[in-house]
């Protein structure tokens, strides 16, 4: 009797429409400031778990639109996705939208198959650190800055001090180590599909989706619904997993903004928005 019921249930399940979980990975990667909610493992861990939760899920589609950010958070998210994919035996497929660059492409490498649009921006496989230097500004406006530290490297690259060559050398060494890890990830995930020399692929340049396909950085040009229907049939169902932001979040500000000093909060929010804008602007977005 139990065996018959089991077969009946399995037959019923097999006739039900397959499900593809759609997990959107959007925005700058990182913990975020007070006003920007970064794309981090902590912020999306519940959505990741939910994407793999149903026994009807046949695949998890990653929809990526990110100019990059913190490499550690990119790797934490990628690792969680790969681990769950292996544990649940549910394949990952990546779909790059406007931009999947730097850390955004790092996320795409979680999936064995990567698709993009012809005009998508793909690549930027490198490491960057940017800031401002204003060593004479405080003196001009009559301010004296006082810094006390234990450890002669604690004030390394202080923007209000004259840049030191040894600090730049140390920073470049750190960047080179992270860059090597990024290159290894791309080599391992794309294997023999890469068609260009490494000095071209890994120099920080970025390309359109069409160019990235020719270079082997993506597998093909394709849109999520089209590709998934070709794979799982026209009756496939899509279940979306997407972070929700409150009203203040839509304007790039957290709900605690009113708790601080209005002018200071506005300045901080503005600087964070400029940082995000500058990162997106590198890719014409």
Catalytic residues: 102, 154
Q: What is the DSSP pairing of strand 206-208 with strand 121-123?
A: antiparallel
Dihedral over Cα of 195, 199, 200, 206: its sign:
positive
Beta strands (DSSP E) in 131-281 are 206-208, 220-221, 237-241
Distance between CA atoms of residues 30 and 82, nearest Å: 19
- CA distances, 97 to each of 66, 113, 120, 146 (Å): 9, 15, 6, 47
Computed from CA positions of residues 212, 213, 218, 220, in that sequence, does the dihedral angle turn out positive or negative? positive
| Angle of helix 41-51 versus helix 71-88 axis, rounded to 10 | 20
Question: Roughly how many angstroms between the first and final C-alpha of the chain, as a whole number?
Answer: 61
């Amino acid at each position: 009797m139990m065996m018959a019921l089991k077969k009946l249930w399995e037959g019923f399940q097999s006739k039900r429409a397959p499900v593809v979980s759609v997990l959107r990975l959007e925005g700058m990667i990182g913990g975020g400031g007070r006003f920007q909610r970064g794309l981090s493992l902590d912020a999306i861990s519940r959505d990741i778990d939910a994407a793999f939760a149903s026994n009807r899920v046949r695949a998890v589609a990653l929809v990526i639109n990110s100019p990059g950010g913190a490499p550690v958070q990119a790797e934490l998210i990628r690792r969680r996705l790969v681990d769950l994919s292996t544990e649940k035996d549910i394949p990952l497929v990546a779909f790059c939208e406007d931009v999947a660059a730097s850390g955004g492409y790092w996320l795409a490498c979680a999936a064995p198959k990567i698709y993009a649009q012809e005009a998508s921006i793909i690549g930027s496989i490198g490491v960057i650190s940017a800031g401002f230097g204003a060593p004479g500004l405080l003196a001009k406006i009559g301010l004296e800055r006082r810094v006390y530290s234990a450890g002669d490297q604690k004030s390394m690259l202080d923007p209000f001090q004259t840049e030191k060559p040894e600090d730049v050398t140390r920073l470049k060494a750190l960047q080179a180590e992270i860059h090597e890890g990024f290159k290894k990830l791309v080599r391992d995930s794309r294997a023999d599909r890469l068609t260009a020399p490494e000095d071209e692929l890994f120099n920080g340049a970025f390309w359109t989706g069409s160019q990235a396909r020719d270079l082997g950085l993506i597998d093909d040009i394709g849109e999520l619904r089209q590709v998934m229907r070709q794979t799982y049939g026209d009756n496939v169902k899509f279940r979306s997993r997407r972070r929700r932001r409150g009203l203040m979040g839509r304007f790039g500000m957290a709900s605690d903004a009113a708790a601080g000093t209005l002018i200071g909060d506005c300045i901080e929010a503005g600087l964070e928005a400029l940082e995000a804008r500058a990162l997106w602007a590198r890719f014409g977005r």
